[in-house]
Amino acid sequence: MTDTINWGIIGCGNVTEVKSGPAFNKIKGSRLLAVMRRDAGKARDYARRHNVPLWYDDAAKLIGNPDINAIYVATPPGSHAQYAISAMQEGKPVYVEKPMALNYRECLEMIKVSEQTGIPLFVAYYRRMLPGFLKVKELIGTGNIGKPGFFSIRFFRPPLPEDTKKPLPWRVIPRMSGGGYVFDMGSHQLDFIDYVLGPIEQVSSLAFNQGRLYEPEDFISAGFRGKDGIGGNAVWSFSSPGHLREDSIEITGDKGKIEFSCFDFTKIKLTTENETVFHENPRPEHVQQFLIESIVSELHGKGKCPSTGITAARTSRILDEITAGKGSV
């Protein structure tokens, strides 16, 4: 890989405005060279506002530009596999938004191409590199709660204003998103559990549409068995009353427990027999920057990114299982 990773973004929508896009120019050895959006006017506007040298309204032209040597796919999941596979076949490493693809089958297709071509494939589960979440991993790894035995995820929120309007947001259109909001938000929680406790091995679930605002399920209750017999459960509701709003993950061991939020960046609470301690969970300006930095480092041969196609596919498999309401994976 050359001294500078010249990135091209396919799909420069909202997620790239603050969370990810500006970070590419703030990392040593990294540069955002081009962006693409099917709406030429929006692509041109993004490039102007973010001082990006090149813009396209055709993904194939961006992928084919020889000066671009890495691709960030930030479109809805329905086109992740198509663009990622095209880029890898051109010999260009790929960073894909989450969830990794529409379903687990597409994830396997992407992994197969990555393995056949030898081209790296990364996925935007950026909590694997955020300081507060690494603190949670550290507290578990150093034995502060003893041997982990159980985890619990609870996420309740009311419908969003756009959920009641036409056209509906792409996140609740399965052919574009893969499923409902659990694919968009629950994927982050499940991936982090995978990271700190190991892969989930068995699932049972109940998933249905309670609010009847759109097609996919908005209420999901699931039980899990993880590595080394760790148990877990999760309840997601995306049509709950506003006063019941909740965002919590709790990991319990035989000596204590850790409580933290996934999206609110509240303080991390560590409770043991003798004390309760709070740790900061800062929200960075660009939440994807630490993960992108690890990708750039790996591409320069100096480090390793913890979020790959292999790890992310496990989360897509669980998403498929819990929304199907089936049992063992």
- CB of 206 closer than 8 Å to CB of 125: no
Which pair of structure tokens corresponds to residue 283?
A: 């929200």
pLDDT at 325 over 90: no
Percent of the chain with pLDDT over 70: 98
Residue 328's pLDDT band (boundaries 50, 70, 90)?
Answer: very low
Pairing between strand 94-96 and 70-73?
parallel
pLDDT digits (tens, 9 = 90+) for 188-241: 999 999 999 999 999 999 999 999 999 999 999 999 999 889 999 999 999 999
Q: Which of 69-83, 233-247, 255-269, 314-328 has the lowest mean pLDDT?
A: 314-328
Question: What pLDDT score does 317 carry?
Answer: 98
- Within 8 A by CB and 6+ apart from 287, the residues are 19, 20, 126, 130
Angle at 271 between CA 267 and CA 272, to 5 degrees: 155
Structural domains of the chain, with CATH: 5-125 (3.40.50.720), 128-286+315-324 (3.30.360.10)
- From the list 18, 16, 116, the residue with the least C-alpha distance to 71 is 16
Question: What pLDDT score does 14 carry?
Answer: 96
Question: What pLDDT score does 288 carry?
Answer: 98
Query: What is the distance between the alpha carbons of residues 251 and 272, in angstroms, rounded to a whole number?
Result: 12
Query: What is the distance between the alpha carbons of residues 218 and 239, in angstroms, rounded to a whole number?
Result: 6
- CB of 33 closer than 8 Å to CB of 67: yes
Residue 329's pLDDT band (boundaries 50, 70, 90)?
Answer: very low
Residue 99: asked if its preceding bond is cis (omega within 30°), the reply is yes
Average pLDDT, the chain: 96
CA distances from 53 to 47, 56, 98, 115, 124 (A): 7, 11, 26, 32, 24
- CB of 238 closer than 8 Å to CB of 207: no
Residue 113: helix, strand or coil by DSSP?
helix
Measured between alpha carbons, how far apart are the two ends of the chain, in Å?
38
Identity of the amino acid at 15: V
pLDDT digits (tens, 9 = 90+) for 97-150: 999 999 999 999 999 999 999 999 999 999 999 999 999 999 999 999 999 999
pLDDT digits (tens, 9 = 90+) for 31-45: 999 999 999 999 999
Q: Which residues are registered as beta bridge partners of 246?
A: 156
Pairing between strand 231-237 and 219-226?
antiparallel
- Give the single-character DSSP code of 227: G
**Mean pLDDT, residues 273-289 taken together:** 97
Residue length of the chain:
329
pLDDT digits (tens, 9 = 90+) for 156-190: 999 999 999 999 999 999 999 999 999 999 999 99
Q: Which residues are registered as beta bridge partners of 271?
A: 257, 276
For 130-243, where are the alpha helices, taking DSSP H only? 131-141, 174-177, 181, 187-197
pLDDT at 259 over 80: yes
The burial class, CB within 10 Å (0-12 / 13-18 / 19+), for 111 is: middle
Identity of the amino acid at 146: G
